[in-house]
Amino acid sequence: MLLTATAMSRKLRSRANPGSVAILQSFFKTGRGQYGEGDRFIGVTVPVIRAVCRECRGAPLVEIQKLLRSRIHEERGLALLMLVDAFKAGDEPTERRVYDLYLANTAFINNWDLVDCSAGQIVGGWLRGRSTAPLTRLARSKSLWERRIAIIATFDGIRRGDFDETFRIADLLLYDEHDLIHKAVGWLLREVGKRDGAAERTFLKGRYKTMPRTMLRYAIERFPEAERRGYLRGDI
């Protein structure tokens, strides 16, 4: 049976809990003037979305793209998890198609959870060993979500012990205006530190006094308490 976008949507909606919609709308900041303004939810948890993803493996990319363009947040989340699965299971031409589809639809990858579940695997995965010029373009985008994609994509390198792109993109985003970028950059720097504390500290030197406070707090969260306080006081 062909897995159409409509069929996948029905699977997801059959497991929705309308009672949780208000909580999700508040958590993902869907109010007027907030970063998720106007987003719609039906009340499906991430574990359930992942379960539906497993049931829908092998759906055509054209149908996944239709789902990605849904007005419903959880349907876009399902589409992105399916793209990650397709990328991981595919040959190089399939990987390229998934990567191109992803970057052609960033307008629909429009909340932090949607970026975080997919950018490292798809964008980072495709750019491994290739030119990272697309990350520069994304980091300089006017779109908050494209900028977040740029830094989260570098998680692929962190997992492999290669931190150069994380540091390069972090420098491009160091003085970004948005709190969600501060958190993302700080988080990725912390992930570097889990693997190589000296590398993270070298990056922070000369930057930590001027970087956004939220970014710094995220970056040093796992440091020893006395050292963490020193960074926050500015006397390291």
pLDDT band at 172 (very low <50, low <70, confident <90, very high): very high
The answer to whether 28 and 73 are in contact (CB under 8 A) is yes
> What pLDDT was estimated at residue 207?
97
What tens digit of pLDDT does each residue of 91-117 get?
999 999 999 999 999 999 999 999 999
What is the CATH number assigned to the segment(s) 1-107?
1.25.10.90
Using the predicted structure, report yes or no on whether residue 36 has a pLDDT greater than 70.
yes
> What pLDDT was estimated at residue 164?
97
> What pLDDT was estimated at residue 236?
85
* Beta bridge partner(s), residue 40: 72
Please, is 47 exposed, middle or buried when counting C-beta atoms within 10 Å of its C-beta (0-12, 13-18, 19+)?
exposed
What tens digit of pLDDT does each residue of 124-149 get?
999 999 999 999 999 999 999 999 99
CA–CA distance, 63 with 137 (Å, rounded to integer): 28
User: Does residue 10 sit in helix, strand or coil?
Assistant: helix
Alpha helices in the chain (DSSP H): 5-13, 21-27, 46-55, 61-68, 73-89, 92-104, 112-116, 119, 125-127, 133-139, 144-153, 155-159, 164-172, 179-195, 197-204, 213-219, 225-233
What tens digit of pLDDT does each residue of 17-32 get?
999 999 999 999 999 9
128 to each of 35, 76, 123, 158, 162, how far by Cα in Å? 30, 25, 9, 11, 10
The second-level CATH assignment, the architecture, of 118-236 is Alpha Horseshoe (1.25)
> What pLDDT was estimated at residue 134?
98
What tens digit of pLDDT does each residue of 175-234 get?
999 999 999 999 999 999 999 999 999 999 999 999 999 999 999 999 999 999 999 999
- Per-domain residue ranges of the chain: 1-107, 118-236
> What pLDDT was estimated at residue 1?
61
pLDDT band at 80 (very low <50, low <70, confident <90, very high): very high
* Beta bridge partner(s), residue 72: 40
One fold for 1-107 and 118-236: yes
